[in-house]
Structure 1
Amino acid sequence: MNLLHRSAAVLALTTGLLALPAHAEVVQQNASGNPVYEVEAPPAYSMIGDLLIARPLLIAATAVGTVAFVVSLPFTALGGNVKDAGKALVVDPGKEAFVRCLGCTTSGYKRD
């Protein structure tokens, strides 16, 4: 196994281990004012599918969206919707690729 294969394996395992903690989201507050959390704990097969299939596709979508954004920039600037185009083509796929927990269906980053 050469250095590239070892590095790729270590990176994949490290990414998987870092994303293992369950994703918790504050849903509401109870009567005493304490937050009530909704925990999304995806199964292992969901995490593996996300790591091997969804994340590479989302990273590719972010890269393609970035190229499309740069190519369309003169037209979106003339139309006045640069911010909307950037959010749709670059930010949204990037949030799903890099911020969402492994195997979760919702993004952990809630600011727009």
Structure 2
Amino acid sequence: MVNPVRITAAVSKVLAAFLEDPEAVRYGLDLMRASGHPSGTLYPILVRLQNAGWIEAYWEEIDPVAAGRPARRYYRLTPDGRVTAQTEVAALRAQLNHSLGAGKPATDPRTA
């Protein structure tokens, strides 16, 4: 059973980071920079997205000694995750635009 993901502003920022280049693989620090979230916010979101089947994750296969750094865990959108992310981010943006009154003509207080 796929776990539902509640689309919050924080989740939306992570999904938007993935949607910048939907085919790209991303790693934690890269996603922290793109989303603006610290690790304590980002990684629980990534776990929820992975449990929902929206992203997949795998460990980089390197020799940490030769590379001079630890192996990275890479993340990428699944095909279903890509479609869902595009739909959910667009819906959240539309909801925010509607609640902020986007599209309404501005009223000049001098003429009202």
**What is the TM-score of this pair, normalised by structure 1?**
0.29
More helix by share: 1
Superposition TM-score, scaled by structure 2 size = 0.29
